[in-house]
Amino acid sequence: MDRLRRRGARCHPAPGAHALAIHHGFASGQRDIRLPYVTNINGNGITVSQRLVSEVNGPEDFRGLRIGLPFEYSVHYLLMLDYLVSGGLDPHSDVDLRIMRPADMVTALSVDQIDAFCLPDQFNQRAVAEGIGFIHTLTKDLWEDHPCCSFAVGQDFADAHPNTYTALLRAIGDSALFIDDHDHRAETAELMAQPAYLGLPEPVLTAVLTGEFPDGTGPSSRYRSASASSPTPTSPTAPGSSMRCSGGT
């Protein structure tokens, strides 16, 4: 665990990352980047207000609902739109899409500012733990092994600081390998629950990482396949070894 603390990367979800990308010129296409890791696959879900638990059963039932999403260019936005279209809805006229900070959406759901959201697992599980929402579906059931967050650096940074760049890759890779061992999941949840990291209740993160979780629809628990966090090279010959680090449930 000491090694994970020394090398583990903190995970703070979008849209802060998008704002940084825009600020540093990545989003405009004016700066070359390296994308060595997709830092997780799957790992998201669609949660709906508990007051609608008997009314929302499929995508067609989202008509007229207010749906919180983190960013127009996020995978959450794309997955949600695709899901709505599969139910015969026009995402731009049949529902009210609201761009919000992920950290605000559970509260917004509790005070009836939104009816649903699509976000990473920890937010879905928090809504269930607080009794204000139920997990309608996991995004892996909409698109198996879909990409989500990634780790990117400017090409100029990688060229100017090769040792630092390599150390970052190793830190993220070592953390992924540690977490990929299912015996380390509960320990990882304990670490990530600390205020310096995610600051969420430990049972919420344990449910996400171990795969056994309540979905808010009754007393029984559902089970999701354990998340994979093993880094896999995608360009073994590239400097710094461009790799995929997959995770999420």
Residues of the domain holding 150: 1-249
pLDDT at 241 over 50: no
**Residue 137 has which token pair?**
């579906």
Place 212 in a pLDDT band, splitting at 50, 70 and 90: confident
Determine which of 10-24, 66-80, 81-95, 105-119 has the lowest per-residue pLDDT on average. 10-24
pLDDT at 119 over 90: yes
pLDDT at 25: 59
Q: How much is the pTM?
A: 0.79
Cα–Cα dist 222/211, whole Å = 8
Location of structure tokens 């953390």? 175
CATH code assigned at 84 = 3.40.190.10
Cα–Cα dist 65/83, whole Å = 14
pLDDT at 19 over 50: no
Domain count, the chain: 1
- Cβ atoms within 10 Å, residue 156: 12
Comparing CA positions, the residue from 55, 47, 70, 95 lying closest to residue 214 is 47
Determine which of 15-24, 110-119, 120-129, 176-185 has the lowest per-residue pLDDT on average. 15-24
As a whole number, the mean pLDDT across the chain is 81
**Residue 202 has which token pair?**
């430990």
**Residue 183 has which token pair?**
């015996």
Q: Write the secondary structure of the chain as one string of H (helix), E (strand) and C (coil).
A: CHHHHHHCCCCCCCCHHHHHHHHCCCCCCCCCEEEEEECCECCEEEEEEHHHCCCCCCHHHHCCCEEEECCCCCHHHHHHHHHHHHCCCCCCCCCEEEECCHHHHHHHHHCCCCCEEEEEHHHHHHHHHCCCEEEEEEHHHCCCCCECCEEEEEHHHHHHCHHHHHHHHHHHHHHHHHHHCHHHHHHHHHHHCCCCCCCCCHHHHHHHHHCEEECCCCCCEEECCCCCCCEEEEECCCCCCEEEECCCC
Is the previous residue joined to 70 through a cis bond, with omega within 30 degrees of 0? Answer: no
